[in-house]
Structure 1
């Protein structure tokens, strides 16, 4: 079981800030592909995965190829901008 967290416009499009899911996805990209099939809101939120940042167990992942083995929490959020 993995807890998936959504922030900012992802949360708005999906309609929730978090969900617990069962997955066999080996990496973040496969998880995104799986999540896109859950609802139209998920499909919209993940339409452009390159526009997302992801953290695995509160550590920023370098790429969508990051493995999920042993990960308990995945957080998706838009890139942050400075101000």
Structure 2
């Protein structure tokens, strides 16, 4: 099982701050598809992903027991 954490407006889109995804050895790219299909989350290509507090790219592998955070873009000034 993978824990997925949502931050900022993603919490509103998902309706929760975290979910559990039943998967193991899944790429970030495949996880994006799964979240889009099963949870209605769209435009995830603009979102940063982190696995166990380390930024991740689409080809990185998520294993059971990992925590994945979805971090929306922030603006500053």
TM-score (norm. length: structure 2): 0.83
Distance in structure 1 (CA, Å) of the matches to 2:44 and 2:3: 19
Deviation of residue 19 (structure 1)?
A: 1.1
Distance in structure 2 (CA, Å) of the matches to 1:65 and 1:49: 15
Structure 1 stretches of at least 4 aligned residues deviating more than 3 Å after TM superposition? none
Secondary structure, counterpart of 2:75 in structure 1: coil
Q: Greater strand share, 1 or 2?
A: 2
Deviation of residue 71 (structure 1)?
A: 5.8
Which residue of structure 2 aligns with residue 6 of structure 1? 6
Can you give the 5+ residue segments of structure 1 that lack an aligned partner in the other structure?
none
Which residue of structure 1 aligns with residue 67 of structure 2? 73
Can you give the 5+ residue segments of structure 2 that lack an aligned partner in the other structure?
none
Secondary structure, counterpart of 1:36 in structure 2: helix
What do residues 19-78 of structure 1 show as CA deviations (whole Å, max 9, x unaligned)?
11211452011011111222xxx32x3x212210111001111x2222214661000021
Which residue of structure 2 aligns with residue 64 of structure 1? 58
